[in-house]
Chains A and B, each alone.
Chain A
Protein backbone atom coordinates (compact mmCIF):
# COMPACT_ATOMS: atom_id res chain seq x y z
CA UNK A 1 0.00 0.00 0.00
CA UNK A 2 1.14 3.59 -0.71
CA UNK A 3 0.55 6.82 1.14
CA UNK A 4 -1.11 9.86 -0.37
CA UNK A 5 0.92 12.84 -1.67
CA UNK A 6 0.60 16.05 0.35
CA UNK A 7 -0.96 19.09 -1.27
CA UNK A 8 1.70 21.72 -0.63
CA UNK A 9 1.19 24.08 -3.58
CA UNK A 10 2.40 27.68 -3.43
CA UNK A 11 0.62 28.50 -6.71
CA UNK A 12 -2.68 28.31 -4.81
CA UNK A 13 -1.56 30.88 -2.25
CA UNK A 14 -2.43 34.46 -3.10
CA UNK A 15 -1.37 37.84 -1.80
CA UNK A 16 -1.73 41.38 -3.02
CA UNK A 17 -4.20 44.19 -3.55
CA UNK A 18 -7.51 43.92 -5.36
CA UNK A 19 -10.26 46.19 -6.59
CA UNK A 20 -13.93 46.56 -5.78
CA UNK A 21 -16.46 47.34 -8.51
CA UNK A 22 -20.16 48.02 -8.17
CA UNK A 23 -22.95 47.78 -10.73
CA UNK A 24 -21.08 45.66 -13.20
CA UNK A 25 -22.53 43.10 -15.59
CA UNK A 26 -24.89 40.46 -14.22
CA UNK A 27 -23.80 37.28 -16.02
CA UNK A 28 -26.15 34.64 -17.34
CA UNK A 29 -26.51 31.59 -15.13
CA UNK A 30 -23.41 29.41 -15.38
CA UNK A 31 -21.18 32.15 -16.74
CA UNK A 32 -18.85 34.69 -15.22
CA UNK A 33 -18.77 38.44 -15.89
CA UNK A 34 -16.42 39.28 -18.73
CA UNK A 35 -13.04 40.56 -17.51
CA UNK A 36 -10.86 42.56 -19.90
CA UNK A 37 -7.42 44.14 -19.66
CA UNK A 38 -7.54 47.92 -19.23
CA UNK A 39 -5.09 50.31 -20.88
CA UNK A 40 -2.59 49.81 -18.05
CA UNK A 41 -2.83 46.03 -18.33
CA UNK A 42 -4.85 45.52 -15.15
CA UNK A 43 -7.83 43.19 -15.36
CA UNK A 44 -11.17 44.93 -14.93
CA UNK A 45 -14.82 44.42 -15.87
CA UNK A 46 -15.32 44.83 -19.61
CA UNK A 47 -16.09 48.44 -20.60
CA UNK A 48 -18.87 47.42 -23.01
CA UNK A 49 -20.61 44.80 -20.93
CA UNK A 50 -20.22 46.69 -17.66
CA UNK A 51 -20.58 50.22 -19.03
CA UNK A 52 -22.30 51.47 -15.86
CA UNK A 53 -19.79 49.98 -13.42
CA UNK A 54 -18.25 52.15 -10.73
CA UNK A 55 -14.80 51.48 -9.28
CA UNK A 56 -14.65 52.08 -5.54
CA UNK A 57 -11.10 53.39 -5.92
CA UNK A 58 -8.52 53.16 -3.18
CA UNK A 59 -9.22 51.55 0.16
CA UNK A 60 -7.57 51.96 3.53
CA UNK A 61 -6.59 48.34 4.10
CA UNK A 62 -7.89 46.39 1.11
CA UNK A 63 -11.17 44.53 0.98
CA UNK A 64 -12.57 41.35 2.44
CA UNK A 65 -14.90 38.83 0.90
CA UNK A 66 -17.04 36.67 3.13
CA UNK A 67 -19.30 33.71 2.43
CA UNK A 68 -20.70 31.93 5.44
CA UNK A 69 -23.44 29.35 5.64
CA UNK A 70 -25.17 29.10 9.00
CA UNK A 71 -26.04 25.50 9.87
CA UNK A 72 -28.91 24.57 12.15
CA UNK A 73 -28.20 21.47 14.20
CA UNK A 74 -30.82 18.95 15.31
CA UNK A 75 -30.32 16.51 18.15
CA UNK A 76 -32.03 13.39 19.38
CA UNK A 77 -32.32 12.46 23.00
CA UNK A 78 -30.48 9.23 22.34
CA UNK A 79 -27.40 10.72 20.62
CA UNK A 80 -24.97 13.27 22.01
CA UNK A 81 -23.91 14.65 18.62
CA UNK A 82 -26.27 16.27 16.10
CA UNK A 83 -28.03 13.80 13.85
CA UNK A 84 -29.18 16.30 11.21
CA UNK A 85 -27.67 19.58 10.04
CA UNK A 86 -29.23 21.93 7.54
CA UNK A 87 -28.28 25.32 6.21
CA UNK A 88 -30.76 27.93 7.33
CA UNK A 89 -28.97 31.14 6.38
CA UNK A 90 -26.20 32.17 4.03
CA UNK A 91 -24.25 35.37 4.59
CA UNK A 92 -22.13 36.84 1.84
CA UNK A 93 -20.48 40.22 1.76
CA UNK A 94 -17.68 42.35 0.36
CA UNK A 95 -16.37 44.93 2.79
CA UNK A 96 -13.60 47.42 3.42
CA UNK A 97 -13.02 51.13 3.94
CA UNK A 98 -12.92 53.47 0.97
CA UNK A 99 -11.02 56.75 1.02
CA UNK A 100 -12.11 58.53 -2.18
CA UNK A 101 -14.88 60.15 -0.26
CA UNK A 102 -15.32 63.06 -2.66
CA UNK A 103 -16.22 60.84 -5.63
CA UNK A 104 -19.96 61.29 -5.91
CA UNK A 105 -20.35 58.36 -8.30
CA UNK A 106 -19.10 56.11 -5.50
CA UNK A 107 -21.12 57.87 -2.83
CA UNK A 108 -24.28 57.33 -4.86
CA UNK A 109 -23.70 53.59 -4.51
CA UNK A 110 -22.95 53.81 -0.80
CA UNK A 111 -25.95 55.95 0.15
CA UNK A 112 -28.98 53.73 -0.13
CA UNK A 113 -31.40 56.60 -0.57
CA UNK A 114 -29.05 59.01 -2.32
CA UNK A 115 -29.71 60.39 -5.80
CA UNK A 116 -26.81 61.86 -7.73
CA UNK A 117 -27.05 64.73 -10.17
CA UNK A 118 -24.29 66.66 -11.87
CA UNK A 119 -24.20 69.86 -13.83
CA UNK A 120 -21.94 72.70 -14.75
CA UNK A 121 -19.83 73.41 -11.69
CA UNK A 122 -21.28 70.92 -9.24
CA UNK A 123 -22.01 67.32 -8.40
CA UNK A 124 -24.55 66.61 -5.73
CA UNK A 125 -26.45 63.91 -3.90
CA UNK A 126 -29.88 64.50 -2.56
CA UNK A 127 -30.73 62.31 0.42
CA UNK A 128 -34.23 60.92 0.45
CA UNK A 129 -36.16 58.82 2.94
CA UNK A 130 -37.86 56.37 0.62
CA UNK A 131 -38.52 52.84 1.78
CA UNK A 132 -37.09 51.04 -1.25
CA UNK A 133 -33.36 50.57 -1.39
CA UNK A 134 -31.31 50.36 -4.53
CA UNK A 135 -29.31 47.20 -5.10
CA UNK A 136 -26.34 46.47 -7.33
CA UNK A 137 -23.97 43.76 -8.37
CA UNK A 138 -20.62 43.92 -6.58
CA UNK A 139 -17.25 42.45 -7.52
CA UNK A 140 -13.92 42.11 -5.79
CA UNK A 141 -11.16 41.09 -8.15
CA UNK A 142 -7.43 40.63 -7.60
CA UNK A 143 -4.56 39.36 -9.71
CA UNK A 144 -3.12 36.17 -8.27
CA UNK A 145 0.29 36.33 -6.61
CA UNK A 146 1.63 33.44 -8.66
CA UNK A 147 0.57 34.81 -12.05
CA UNK A 148 -0.63 38.39 -12.37
CA UNK A 149 -2.31 37.62 -15.70
CA UNK A 150 -4.80 35.48 -13.75
CA UNK A 151 -7.40 36.65 -11.27
CA UNK A 152 -9.35 35.50 -8.28
CA UNK A 153 -12.74 37.13 -7.95
CA UNK A 154 -16.09 37.11 -6.22
CA UNK A 155 -19.18 38.67 -7.72
CA UNK A 156 -22.30 39.01 -5.61
CA UNK A 157 -25.32 39.35 -7.87
CA UNK A 158 -27.48 41.59 -5.73
CA UNK A 159 -26.12 43.71 -2.92
CA UNK A 160 -26.67 46.86 -0.92
CA UNK A 161 -24.28 48.78 1.30
CA UNK A 162 -25.33 48.04 4.85
CA UNK A 163 -22.43 49.96 6.39
CA UNK A 164 -23.92 53.33 5.50
CA UNK A 165 -21.75 56.35 4.88
CA UNK A 166 -19.56 57.82 7.60
CA UNK A 167 -16.94 60.40 6.85
CA UNK A 168 -14.52 62.10 9.20
CA UNK A 169 -13.43 65.65 8.60
CA UNK A 170 -10.36 66.41 10.65
CA UNK A 171 -6.87 67.83 10.52
CA UNK A 172 -5.07 64.63 11.52
CA UNK A 173 -7.28 62.00 9.97
CA UNK A 174 -7.77 61.10 6.35
CA UNK A 175 -11.42 60.97 5.43
CA UNK A 176 -12.62 57.40 4.94
CA UNK A 177 -15.92 55.57 4.94
CA UNK A 178 -16.56 51.88 5.61
CA UNK A 179 -18.58 49.85 3.12
CA UNK A 180 -20.15 46.43 3.40
CA UNK A 181 -22.04 45.14 0.41
CA UNK A 182 -24.39 42.45 1.66
CA UNK A 183 -25.27 39.70 -0.79
CA UNK A 184 -28.93 38.97 -1.38
CA UNK A 185 -30.59 36.05 -3.11
CA UNK A 186 -32.19 36.26 -6.56
CA UNK A 187 -35.05 33.84 -6.06
CA UNK A 188 -35.75 33.15 -9.74
CA UNK A 189 -32.25 31.92 -10.59
CA UNK A 190 -31.33 28.24 -10.08
CA UNK A 191 -30.77 27.40 -6.42
CA UNK A 192 -27.04 26.76 -6.88
CA UNK A 193 -26.50 30.17 -8.50
CA UNK A 194 -28.63 32.66 -6.60
CA UNK A 195 -26.17 34.71 -4.56
CA UNK A 196 -22.95 35.02 -6.51
CA UNK A 197 -19.99 33.39 -8.15
CA UNK A 198 -16.42 32.88 -6.93
CA UNK A 199 -13.82 31.95 -9.49
CA UNK A 200 -10.21 32.02 -10.50
CA UNK A 201 -8.90 32.05 -14.03
CA UNK A 202 -6.61 29.19 -15.01
CA UNK A 203 -5.80 29.76 -18.68
Chain B
Protein backbone atom coordinates (compact mmCIF):
# COMPACT_ATOMS: atom_id res chain seq x y z
CA UNK B 1 0.00 0.00 0.00
CA UNK B 2 1.41 3.32 -1.05
CA UNK B 3 2.11 5.93 1.50
CA UNK B 4 -0.72 8.28 1.86
CA UNK B 5 0.15 11.83 0.99
CA UNK B 6 -1.36 14.58 2.93
CA UNK B 7 -2.56 17.70 1.28
CA UNK B 8 -1.40 20.89 2.92
CA UNK B 9 -4.17 22.56 4.76
CA UNK B 10 -5.09 25.83 3.07
CA UNK B 11 -4.14 28.80 5.14
CA UNK B 12 -7.03 31.20 5.33
CA UNK B 13 -6.08 34.62 4.03
CA UNK B 14 -7.13 37.63 5.93
CA UNK B 15 -6.86 40.10 3.03
CA UNK B 16 -9.31 40.32 0.17
CA UNK B 17 -8.25 39.60 -3.39
CA UNK B 18 -8.94 42.52 -5.75
CA UNK B 19 -11.13 41.41 -8.62
CA UNK B 20 -12.31 38.29 -6.71
CA UNK B 21 -13.40 39.26 -3.23
CA UNK B 22 -13.78 42.93 -4.01
CA UNK B 23 -13.99 44.99 -7.17
CA UNK B 24 -10.90 46.52 -8.72
CA UNK B 25 -10.49 50.12 -7.69
CA UNK B 26 -7.97 52.57 -9.06
CA UNK B 27 -6.18 54.49 -6.38
CA UNK B 28 -6.45 57.62 -8.48
CA UNK B 29 -10.22 57.63 -8.02
CA UNK B 30 -9.87 57.70 -4.25
CA UNK B 31 -6.77 59.67 -3.49
CA UNK B 32 -5.80 61.98 -6.32
CA UNK B 33 -8.11 64.90 -7.03
CA UNK B 34 -8.99 65.68 -10.62
CA UNK B 35 -6.41 67.97 -12.14
CA UNK B 36 -3.39 66.26 -10.63
CA UNK B 37 -1.34 63.65 -12.44
CA UNK B 38 -1.49 60.47 -10.30
CA UNK B 39 2.04 59.47 -11.34
CA UNK B 40 3.93 62.72 -10.94
CA UNK B 41 1.51 64.35 -8.48
CA UNK B 42 1.99 67.55 -10.46
CA UNK B 43 -0.84 69.79 -11.57
CA UNK B 44 -2.02 69.31 -15.15
CA UNK B 45 0.05 71.33 -17.58
CA UNK B 46 3.26 71.35 -15.56
CA UNK B 47 6.15 69.48 -17.17
CA UNK B 48 7.27 66.61 -14.92
CA UNK B 49 11.01 67.22 -15.45
CA UNK B 50 11.46 70.93 -16.04
CA UNK B 51 8.56 71.90 -13.72
CA UNK B 52 7.70 74.56 -16.29
CA UNK B 53 4.04 75.41 -16.77
CA UNK B 54 3.27 74.71 -20.42
CA UNK B 55 -0.51 74.61 -20.36
CA UNK B 56 -3.43 75.35 -18.11
CA UNK B 57 -6.47 73.18 -17.64
CA UNK B 58 -9.60 74.00 -15.71
CA UNK B 59 -9.11 70.89 -13.53
CA UNK B 60 -5.47 71.69 -12.87
CA UNK B 61 -6.10 75.30 -11.88
CA UNK B 62 -8.99 74.28 -9.62
CA UNK B 63 -6.80 71.69 -7.92
CA UNK B 64 -4.03 74.23 -7.48
CA UNK B 65 -5.95 77.36 -6.50
CA UNK B 66 -9.32 76.10 -5.36
CA UNK B 67 -12.55 75.87 -7.32
CA UNK B 68 -13.48 79.55 -7.39
CA UNK B 69 -10.08 81.16 -7.94
CA UNK B 70 -9.00 78.35 -10.28
CA UNK B 71 -11.97 78.93 -12.56
CA UNK B 72 -11.46 82.70 -12.48
CA UNK B 73 -7.83 82.25 -13.47
CA UNK B 74 -8.76 79.86 -16.29
CA UNK B 75 -11.32 82.27 -17.72
CA UNK B 76 -8.91 85.22 -17.44
CA UNK B 77 -6.15 83.29 -19.23
CA UNK B 78 -8.53 82.05 -21.96
CA UNK B 79 -9.51 85.65 -22.64
CA UNK B 80 -6.04 87.20 -22.99
CA UNK B 81 -5.73 89.42 -26.04
CA UNK B 82 -9.51 89.96 -25.90
CA UNK B 83 -10.03 86.34 -26.90
CA UNK B 84 -8.00 86.52 -30.13
CA UNK B 85 -5.34 84.16 -28.75
CA UNK B 86 -7.56 81.37 -27.38
CA UNK B 87 -11.21 82.36 -27.08
CA UNK B 88 -13.37 84.87 -25.31
CA UNK B 89 -15.25 83.09 -22.51
CA UNK B 90 -17.79 85.92 -22.36
CA UNK B 91 -18.91 85.31 -25.93
CA UNK B 92 -18.78 81.51 -25.90
CA UNK B 93 -22.06 80.59 -24.32
CA UNK B 94 -21.23 77.04 -23.35
CA UNK B 95 -19.15 74.95 -20.99
CA UNK B 96 -16.23 75.10 -23.43
CA UNK B 97 -13.10 74.63 -21.31
CA UNK B 98 -10.28 73.09 -23.40
CA UNK B 99 -6.69 72.83 -22.14
CA UNK B 100 -4.87 76.01 -23.16
CA UNK B 101 -1.34 75.68 -24.47
CA UNK B 102 0.35 78.75 -23.02
CA UNK B 103 3.88 77.74 -23.99
CA UNK B 104 3.68 79.58 -27.32
CA UNK B 105 2.65 82.88 -25.78
CA UNK B 106 5.05 85.77 -26.35
CA UNK B 107 5.51 89.34 -25.17
CA UNK B 108 2.70 91.09 -23.35
CA UNK B 109 0.38 88.09 -23.59
CA UNK B 110 2.91 85.91 -21.79
CA UNK B 111 3.44 88.56 -19.12
CA UNK B 112 -0.32 88.93 -18.68
CA UNK B 113 -0.74 85.19 -18.12
CA UNK B 114 2.13 85.10 -15.63
CA UNK B 115 0.49 87.95 -13.75
CA UNK B 116 -2.85 86.12 -13.66
CA UNK B 117 -1.20 82.93 -12.40
CA UNK B 118 0.69 84.80 -9.69
CA UNK B 119 -2.34 86.78 -8.48
CA UNK B 120 -3.70 85.78 -5.08
CA UNK B 121 -7.16 86.98 -6.02
CA UNK B 122 -8.94 88.17 -9.16
A binding-site residues for B, Cβ under 8 Å: 23-29, 31, 33-34, 46, 48-53, 118-122, 132-137, 157-158, 186-190
Is B65 an interface position by the 8 A CB rule?
Answer: no
With contact pairs A118-B29, A188-B84 given, residues A31 and B98 touching in the complex (Cβ less than 8 Å): no
Q: Decide if the interface of chain A is mainly helix, strand, loop or mixed.
A: loop
B binding-site residues for A, Cβ under 8 Å: 22-26, 29-30, 37, 44-48, 54-55, 57, 59-60, 82-88, 91-96, 98-105
Q: Do A52 and B91 touch (CB < 8 A)?
A: no
Q: Do B92 and A27 touch (CB < 8 A)?
A: no
* Nearest chain A residue, comparing its CB with the CB of B25: A120
Q: Do A49 and B45 touch (CB < 8 A)?
A: yes
- A-chain residues with CB within 8 Å of residue B85 when the two chains form the complex: 28-29, 189
Q: How far is the CA of A187 from the CA of B86 in the complex (A)?
A: 10
Q: Do A49 and B59 touch (CB < 8 A)?
A: no
Which residue of B59, B82, B96 is within 8 Å of A135 (Cβ)?
B96
* Nearest chain A residue, comparing its CB with the CB of B30: A120
Q: How far is the CA of A28 from the CA of B103 in the complex (A)?
A: 9
With contact pairs A26-B87, A188-B88 given, residues A48 and B98 touching in the complex (Cβ less than 8 Å): no
Q: Do A51 and B55 touch (CB < 8 A)?
A: yes
